Structure 1
Amino acid sequence: MNKAGGVNLWVTNRILSALLGGYAFTWGFASLGIAGLAALGVDFHEAETGILMLAFLVFLGVFLWAFACRSVARVWAVLAGGGAVMTLSAWLIQQTMLS
């Protein structure tokens, strides 16, 4: 593979990790935040509005961090793994609230 092909692969991987991983992380953050605030007694729509406004800043932060981080494997692990853990945690909170 020539040098240009390696650079294109690096850029493509960074863009995918920033977009897809950032989306997964932000989804997990929002779902966990909304479920957590609702469990604490905050009205659902107020929790949703507040967390989704904050989610814009979270996505911006993780998007930029995905390009600044030295290791793309770390980016994928933190963003996709963190998003999965937060989404699972939100699901568990919701199941607890429903039972």
Structure 2
Amino acid sequence: MKKITAMKLSKLARYRLMVASRILAAIIGGYALTSALSVLLALLLPVSRSEATLAATMLSFVLYAAVVLWVFAARSVMHIWLWLIGAALPSWLLCWWLMPGAAS
């Protein structure tokens, strides 16, 4: 009887950790990816700096909502984290390289 209870607790604990990981991925990973892509878009748009910043900021709200929805719809937590890191890190590096005076 105690073994069954311990198994249920471990399944419950595992489930709670997976939900917590998804919440952290949505908040932290979603923010990192959205901000990186928003800065990148603002740097790449062929309009004035203020218009590019405004357009990238408006698009970032839609992008962040889409990332949060995807995080909770995806099947694997590990896949979520790998995808978020794999997309955010190159975006940040490209932003750093494209910013005037940053790479010199």
Once residues 24 and 97 of structure 1 are traced to their aligned partners in structure 2, the CA distance between those partners, rounded to angstroms, is: 19
Unaligned runs of 5+ in 1: none
Structure 2, unmatched stretches of 5+, are: 1-8
Matched, 1:36 2:41: no
Per-residue deviation at 1:98?
Answer: 8.3
| Counterpart selection for 1:66 from 48, 71, 87 | 71
Q: Give yes or no for the alignment of 1:22 onto 2:65.
A: no
Aligned-residue sequence identity (percent) comes to 35
Matched length = 96
One-letter code of the match for 1:83? A
Answering whether residue 56 of structure 2 is matched by residue 48 of structure 1, we say no
Range 17-26 or range 88-97, more displaced? 88-97
Cα offset, 1:48, TM superposition: 0.3
TM-score in terms of structure 2 length: 0.82
Distance in 2 between residues matched to 1:96 and 1:70, nearest whole Å? 42
Look at both structures and tell me which one has the larger radius of gyration over its CA atoms. 2
The equivalent of 2:18 in structure 1 is 10
Residue 97 of structure 1 and its aligned partner are, at CA, apart by 9.2
CA deviations 1:3-30 (Å, max 9, x no partner) are 2211111110110111111011101111
CA distance in 1, matches of 2:77, 2:95: 26
**C-alpha distance in structure 1 between counterparts of 2:103 and 2:10, whole Å:** 56
